[in-house]
């Protein structure tokens, strides 16, 4: 006789699928599809590839000599492209895309498109356009248009890594004063690692206390840990500004006790950022660790100690491996949350403490460069995917190396 553990067989599978279906549809509809659509903007080149397709084709068919402005065909194609774009209200997007690749071309494109749509240019187009907008005589604009044709582009993905294509089309480093994103990514990962490690170190004794305390006390401690989770993130963050500012209580105490002569700069530093992030994320780590610790009988540690193991050895070889899954799960949650932090660094961090999400928000909200915002998001996603795979691989290796 088989024990009745759940429903088995094909019917069971179907039932299971039915149970999961609503969640699956929900996740697909409100998460996977929109996110994928946004991420696809990282390689989308509709503005230049489609919007200027005739111009790109004309430049391909008849490439201008090095340092020369192209001939009549390219100008005629440009006028046709821009007039069509203006009618479809796409000219501003083309102008933005071209301006990203060559600063100072935005209004040139918009004004030319306006004139083109009004039919102000007549053949021959080259002298007509150059007379009205002499800036088109810069061969660099035409080189930029020719180099950025095609439906897809790697421009944003490269830019997100401080790379660009040089005049010859080869991948090259961005000039030093414009390198930003690799440093930003490194900083984001470093801050997240430090916060995760600090949360783990703080959570272990706290979780031990919660599990070991008598039920009444345990509940009180647990509530204290959870309490910050129930208050607004913004409030929890802004409170640090008041506590740590120059005339705040911490500085007052430091000066009064003679530990420092003058108030210290505590707020808007990496230190205050760590404090605020750890405070917000610690409950998540404690929750994960406590849930695992509660399942480890206290008798295991007692047994190890009574058999003569020093306390730390007993903890390291008996307790730690048993709570490791909880610690790993907690670390994963804290790390993933930390990577996406944006408001906290903005409010309590200094300018050298900003994380990658702040740039994603900047490009999304401020300059409407959704291509670069998407490329940066792809970067973060790729990073998390790589870390997950590494974690899985390490776990598989660890399992294999355990002697049978």
User: Contact region for other proteins (CB under 8 A) — 60-68, 103-111, 188-196, 295-303?
Assistant: 103-111
The β-bridge partners of 164 are 172
Alpha helices in 136-269 (DSSP H): 139-147, 155-159, 181-212, 215-230, 233-244, 249-256
Residue of 369, 375, 378, 379 that binds other proteins (CB under 8 A) = 369
* 363 within 8 A of 369, measured Cβ to Cβ: yes
Smallest distance, other proteins to C-beta of residue 22, A: 24
Phi-psi category of 369—alpha, beta or left, where left has phi over 0 and alpha has psi -120 to 50? beta
Under the criterion CB under 8 A, does residue 165 sit at the interface with other proteins?
no
Distance CA 269, CA 273 (A): 6
SS3 content of the chain, % helix, strand, coil (to 5): 75, 0, 25
Size of the site for other proteins (CB under 8 A): 44
Residue of 82, 184, 204, 292 that binds other proteins (CB under 8 A) = 184
In this complex, which beta carbon is closest to other proteins, that of residue 271 or of residue 315?
A: 271
* 75 within 8 A of 131, measured Cβ to Cβ: no
* Cβ neighbours for 307, distance < 8 A, ≥ 6 positions apart: none
Distance CA 277, CA 236 (A): 10
Under the criterion CB under 8 A, does residue 164 sit at the interface with other proteins?
no
Residues 329-348 that bind other proteins (CB under 8 A): 346-347
* 301 within 8 A of 315, measured Cβ to Cβ: yes
* 133 within 8 A of 112, measured Cβ to Cβ: yes
Under the criterion CB under 8 A, does residue 359 sit at the interface with other proteins?
yes
Under the criterion CB under 8 A, does residue 11 sit at the interface with other proteins?
no
Residue of 332, 350, 383, 387 that binds other proteins (CB under 8 A) = 350
- Residue 165 sits at φ, ψ, to 5 deg, of -95, 130
Distance CA 350, CA 354 (A): 7
Residue of 91, 222, 225, 304 that binds other proteins (CB under 8 A) = 91
Under the criterion CB under 8 A, does residue 261 sit at the interface with other proteins?
no
The answer to whether the peptide bond before residue 235 is cis (omega within 30 degrees of 0) is no
Residues 237-256 that bind other proteins (CB under 8 A): 241, 245-248
Under the criterion CB under 8 A, does residue 103 sit at the interface with other proteins?
yes
User: Contact region for other proteins (CB under 8 A) — 90-98, 147-155, 225-233, 280-288?
Assistant: 90-98
In this complex, which beta carbon is closest to other proteins, that of residue 18 or of residue 262?
A: 262
User: Contact region for other proteins (CB under 8 A) — 16-24, 51-59, 105-113, 143-151?
Assistant: 105-113
Smallest distance, other proteins to C-beta of residue 134, A: 17
Distance CA 249, CA 253 (A): 6
Residue of 37, 352, 390, 398 that binds other proteins (CB under 8 A) = 352
Smallest distance, other proteins to C-beta of residue 276, A: 14
Residue of 362, 383, 384, 387 that binds other proteins (CB under 8 A) = 362
Query: Contact residues for other proteins (CB under 8 A)?
Result: 89, 91-93, 95-96, 99-100, 103-107, 110, 177-180, 183-184, 187, 241, 245-248, 267-268, 346-347, 350-352, 354, 359, 362-370
């Amino acid at each position: 006789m088989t024990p009745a553990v759940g429903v088995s067989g094909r019917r069971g599978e179907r039932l299971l699928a039915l149970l999961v279906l609503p969640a699956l549809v929900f996740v697909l509809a409100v998460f996977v599809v929109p996110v994928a659509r946004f991420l696809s903007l990282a390689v989308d080149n509709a503005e230049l590839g489609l919007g200027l397709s005739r111009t790109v084709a004309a430049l391909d068919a008849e490439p201008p000599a090095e340092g020369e402005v192209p001939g009549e065909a390219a100008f005629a194609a440009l006028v046709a492209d821009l007039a069509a774009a203006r009618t479809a209200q796409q000219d501003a997007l083309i102008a933005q895309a071209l301006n990203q690749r060559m600063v100072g071309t935005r209004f040139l494109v918009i004004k030319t498109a306006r004139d083109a749509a009004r039919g102000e240019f007549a053949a021959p187009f080259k002298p007509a356009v150059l007379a009205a907008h002499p800036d088109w005589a810069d061969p660099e604009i035409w080189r930029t248009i020719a180099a950025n044709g095609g439906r897809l582009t790697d421009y944003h993905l490269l830019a997100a890594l401080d790379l660009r294509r040089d005049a010859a089309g080869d991948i090259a480093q961005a000039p030093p004063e414009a390198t930003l994103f690799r440093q930003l990514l490194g900083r984001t990962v470093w801050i997240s690692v430090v916060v995760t490690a600090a949360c783990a170190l703080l959570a272990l004794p706290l979780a031990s206390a919660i599990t070991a305390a008598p039920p009444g006390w345990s509940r009180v401690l647990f509530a204290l840990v959870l309490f910050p989770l129930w208050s607004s993130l913004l409030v929890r963050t802004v409170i640090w500004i008041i506590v740590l500012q120059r005339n705040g209580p911490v500085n007052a105490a430091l000066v009064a006790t003679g530990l420092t002569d003058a108030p210290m700069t505590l707020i808007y530093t990496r230190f205050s950022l760590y404090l605020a992030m750890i405070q917000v994320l610690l409950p998540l780590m404690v929750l994960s660790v406590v849930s695992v610790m509660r399942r480890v009988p206290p008798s295991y540690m007692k047994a190890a100690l009574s058999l003569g193991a020093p306390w730390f050895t007993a903890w390291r070889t008996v307790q730690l491996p048993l709570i490791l899954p909880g610690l790993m799960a907690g670390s994963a949650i804290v790390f993933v949350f930390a990577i996406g932090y944006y408001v906290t660094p903005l409010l309590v961090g200094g300018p050298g403490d900003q994380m990658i999400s702040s740039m994603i928000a900047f490009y999304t909200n401020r300059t409407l460069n959704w291509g670069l915002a998407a490329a940066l998001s792809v970067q973060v996603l790729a990073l998390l995917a790589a870390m997950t795979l590494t974690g899985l691989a390490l776990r598989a290796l660890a399992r294999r190396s355990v002697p049978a």
